[in-house]
């Protein structure tokens, strides 16, 4: 009588997030974009702790200097170190981008889920979305800056007031694409078998949304989040370049561009550094979003 061989233990099921990571790391542009964006984040937030010069330190004797060992990015018309101002401006611009993205993501996801899940709310919410899409973005932002700048500055101070105003202005004018994408996914998901089964056993609408709908629409939400950061940074830079953003003594990349336009012929590097920082940040975030979109799409994953 032959002895039965011991059965091999079954392998644990492979995590879905490992498949997502395998697909993501095969996208070279996404890896490079993620690494560059991480480097920018570390540089603007941790760099001031390792650089002895402050962004607001004035030294008239060192004004309008070119790049040197003491000042790698040169100095401005008041002798302030441009490298320190680039790091301080980057921290402000990235903070505005991240905060405005979170606000737009919350509004877009909430309105998209409500419109897709509840049939009675679909028409009014989508017409509201169409109304916001029809509004001209830049003139609307300019009007909001002119109307609410002084009251918020008087309440929260010139720096915090303008930060709140810019974040709210960008957030409430950039949630519409996320809402339309999430609504389309929710319309398809609520007719799936697992949602119908959960509804048949008496699951409440709030539980259906939090346990079954939202986890399955994370993919478009995450992609919209990465692209929303780039949009918010560009919008904030545009407002600061037009002189409607932060005050002159509170640097951002857009404000540095605005201040450098008067010295473009004498010191062109002052325009180059913030322009390159904005371009690299937006480019890295866009590549990161492309990689996340491909990795989170099950139809592409595994190709």
Domain ranges of the chain: 21-51+73-296
The 10 Å Cβ neighbour count of residue 193 is: 7
Question: What are the pLDDT digits (tens) for 197-244?
Answer: 888 888 888 888 888 888 888 878 888 888 888 888 888 888 888 877
Q: d(Cα 17, Cα 21) in Å, to the nearest integer?
A: 6
Q: What angle do CA 82, 87, 88 make, to 5 degrees?
A: 95
Q: d(Cα 211, Cα 231) in Å, to the nearest integer?
A: 30
Instruction: Judge contact between 136 and 207, C-beta under 8 A.
Output: no
Model pLDDT, residue 98:
92
DSSP state, residue 211? I
Show Cβ contacts of residue 131 under 8 Å, excluding neighbours closer than 6 positions. Answer: none
Q: Does residue 15 sit in helix, strand or coil?
A: coil
pTM equals 0.84
Question: What are the pLDDT digits (tens) for 111-133?
Answer: 999 999 888 999 999 999 999 98
The closest of 48, 77, 50, 45 to 61, measured between CA atoms, is 77
Burial class (CB in 10 A: 0-12, 13-18, 19+), 102: middle
Model pLDDT, residue 16:
63
Q: d(Cα 255, Cα 250) in Å, to the nearest integer?
A: 8
CATH code 1.10.3720.10 for 21-51+73-296: yes
Cα 189 to Cα 13, 69, 182, 253, 299, distances in angstroms: 25, 59, 10, 42, 16
């Amino acid at each position: 009588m032959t002895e039965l061989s011991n059965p091999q233990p079954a392998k644990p099921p492979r995590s879905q997030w490992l498949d997502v990571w395998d697909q993501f790391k095969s996208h070279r542009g996404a890896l490079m974009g993620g690494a560059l964006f991480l480097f920018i984040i570390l540089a603007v937030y941790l760099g001031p702790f390792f650089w002895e010069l402050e962004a607001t330190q004035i030294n008239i004797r060192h004004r309008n200097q070119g790049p040197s060992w003491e000042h790698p990015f040169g100095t401005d018309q008041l002798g302030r170190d441009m490298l320190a101002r680039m790091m301080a401006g980057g921290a402000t611009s990235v903070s505005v981008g991240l905060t405005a993205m979170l606000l737009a993501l919350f509004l877009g996801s909430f309105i998209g889920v409500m419109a897709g899940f509840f049939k009675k709310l679909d028409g009014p919410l989508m017409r509201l979305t169409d109304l916001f899409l029809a509004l001209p973005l830049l003139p609307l932002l300019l009007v909001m800056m002119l109307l609410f700048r002084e009251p918020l500055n008087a309440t929260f101070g010139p720096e915090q007031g303008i930060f709140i105003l810019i974040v709210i202005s960008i957030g409430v004018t950039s949630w519409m694409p996320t809402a339309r994408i999430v609504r389309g996914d929710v319309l398809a998901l609520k007719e799936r078998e697992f949602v119908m089964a959960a509804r048949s056993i008496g699951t409440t609408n709030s539980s259906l949304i939090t346990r079954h709908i939202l986890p399955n629409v994370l993919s478009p939400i995450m992609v919209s989040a990465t692209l929303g950061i780039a949009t918010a940074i560009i919008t904030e830079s545009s407002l600061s370049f037009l002189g409607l953003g932060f005050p002159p003594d509170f640097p951002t990349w857009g404000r540095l561009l605005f201040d450098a336009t008067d010295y473009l012929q004498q010191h062109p590097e002052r325009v180059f550094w913030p322009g390159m920082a904005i371009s690299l940040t937006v480019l890295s975030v866009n590549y990161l979003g492309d990689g996340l979109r491909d990795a989170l799409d099950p139809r592409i994953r595994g190709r």
